Amino acid sequence: MSQLNPRQQEAVRYISGPLLVLAGAGSGKTSVITRKIAYLVKECGIRAQYIVAVTFTNKAAREMKERVGMLLRGAEGRGLTVSTFHNLGLNIIRKEHKRLGYKPGFSIFDQRDAEALIADLMHKDYGGDDGVEGIQAQISSWKNDLITPEEALQQAKTPQQQTAASVYMHYNRTLKAYNAVDFDDLILIPVLLFRDHPDVLEKWQFRIRYMLVDEYQDTNASQYLLVKMLVGNQARFTVVGDDDQSIYAWRGARPENLVQLKEDFPNLKVVMLEQNYRSTSRILKAANTLIANNPHVFEKQLWSELGYGDPIRVIRCRNEDAEAERVATDIQMLHLKQGIAWKNFAILYRGNHQARLIELKLQHHQIPYHLSGGTSFFSRQEVKDLMSYFRLLVNPDDDNALLRVINVPRREIGPATLEKLGTYANQRGVSLITACGEMGLAEHMEPRYLERLQRFARWLEGVRQQCMQGDAIAALRDMVSDLDYENWIRQNCSSDEIAAKRMGNVWFLLDSLKATMERDETGETTFEDAIAKLVLRDMLERQEEEEDADRVQLMTMHASKGLEYPHVYVMGMEEEILPHRSSIEADTVDEERRLAYVAITRAKRNLTFTFAARRRQFGEIIDCLPSRFLDELPQEDLEWEGTEDVPVEQKQARGNSALADIRSLLGR
């Protein structure tokens, strides 16, 4: 406890009622949550199995678990739940599957699976799938706002809304028939279950004696209600959040949930964490001054004991090319002159499209970098398809894998047939593939549809036997050829070049599987083991890649939340980029200001803003205005570059001097 400041100690020790900890950026909120869990177990006698801590990402949950593990030894921490909101929802559905009418081992549809199902339903009902993404987003928004299909139909005013509500109804029914849920259901279903069955809610309230919620400002309507239900009248909870870092309104987050807490729990105690352990005072002054332009229910001022620090640089560049070049050479100079490791630099931008140019410049200067948010190998569509086939071959009862590939390539097995199959399988309590072989299924569908299902099941079993009995890799290559998968890819690609790349990924996956099987000296790695290892390896490699490599970090401002770097460059500080054009039009500039605040508070020592005087857009060159947020910063703390018209000779001399410095450092 001695390592905590007085405010942090107050937040840890207060357990007699509901508590909101308003934790500014870099104020040690994770320490407060982890110490509080230890305090509840060691000092308050609450067993770990009755404590639940929830956050938003697996990474944050993993980090929290590790830190709690250092404070609680052995049996002390047994049974503690530290998870994401969605994992908590998943556990509730698993435990209550009978009450909810699901078989054990139900499937979870990711965004792509959901999109494919909605597209199929729209093909069947409307003869096309125009606007699938919009309808999926609408369904997701309804689920997050706890609106059922029946309510959506009642509320629909426009023909578009009526179509979306009708698809929503059909989509939900089909999911249930498939014994599946989607990502949004993981919160919605427990909330509806608790609302309709007070006895189940009471059981879970008894099971959760104390609840802690991290990043509370990012909760949506359904997540807030889930927390409110679980804590009940006892209200034994601590939520930690920062209204100034609420940047996810576009995906349903409601910073007003912080205000709602005060209304729902009148005896709520509020503790402010304002001491920052990350940044210099100058950086914090800039952040405080900027965010003061937003309306606040809770006022706070970040402060630091880490010294005043260097001026904040604002660099005006001729165009976007010059901007990317300047950032790349600046980083190179600091690395060479001061020996700063590459991983201590981060380059932030508003949208992913801004990364292309800076990537090229870093490559040109041979600067290693890591691009956050890049597509992992295993999340590519063709790899997911093949992995689903592999999973089915290993476990034919994997319903989710079957649903993903039964129409890849198309076998004319439509959603209506699959809904009937799913309903029958549910009633019989068997998997979809087992149901295909049962005689009773013939009573529920036309012979031609039944024949298609049975043909698929027979073919799959044939491939499976080949894999188990002979050369598994050869059998899989035959399977890819048998599927005519290459032709299927070609039909779904905009060019032959893209199709060739995607097929290259398929062959790479088969080679990786082969290598995994051959690498085992005992010769005992089965086909099943190899597939499990492949998935695990991908997860571990990505994790290590993220954590260990010495590379400059490139990411969007949204992706930077929760991270910190000694040297931060924020690119594209222009009107219509930050704040974004859409937010200016929609009058939601406050959210963009919070995003700029998040970007500023990532910097520990040095902060640099860059913007272009001119930029190419849609084939023409336009003049750019510097972002209004630059005007809102304390001008006495800014050091502007590039705003004066420097004579050409002077610029050349400056450039030659910089090159000479680099050469001398390289010993050339």
Nearest by Cα to 534 from 473, 613, 606: 473
Q: What is the DSSP string of 134-149?
A: HHHHHHHHHHHTT--H
> CA–CA separation, 298 vs 286, rounded Å?
19
| Neighbour-count burial for 490-503, b at 16+ CB within 10 Å, e otherwise | beebeeeeebeebb
Are the C-beta atoms of 223 and 56 separated by less than 8 Å? no
Q: What is the DSSP string of 55-123?
A: ES-HHHHHHHHHHHHHHS-GGGGTT-EEEEHHHHHHHHHHHTHHHHT--TT-EEE-HHHHHHHHHHHHH
Q: Is 101 annotated as a binding residue?
A: no
Q: What is the DSSP string of 426-439?
A: HHHT--HHHHHT-G
DSSP 375: P
Are the C-beta atoms of 507 and 476 separated by less than 8 Å? no
Q: Is 25 annotated as a binding residue?
A: yes
Q: Catalytic residues, which ones?
A: 29-30, 214-215, 245, 602
Q: Is 164 annotated as a binding residue?
A: no
DSSP 3-state of 153: helix
> CA–CA separation, 424 vs 442, rounded Å?
10
Structure tokens belonging to residue 209: 């004696």
Q: Is 45 annotated as a binding residue?
A: no
Q: Is 29 annotated as a binding residue?
A: yes
Q: Is 442 annotated as a binding residue?
A: no
Q: Is 105 annotated as a binding residue?
A: no
Q: Is 27 annotated as a binding residue?
A: yes
DSSP 248: -
> CA–CA separation, 595 vs 337, rounded Å?
32
Q: Is 343 annotated as a binding residue?
A: no
Structure tokens belonging to residue 315: 């660099």
Write down the residue that tokens 């800014």 correspond to: 638
Which residues participate in the annotated binding site for ATP?
23-30, 278
Binding-site entries: 23-30, 278
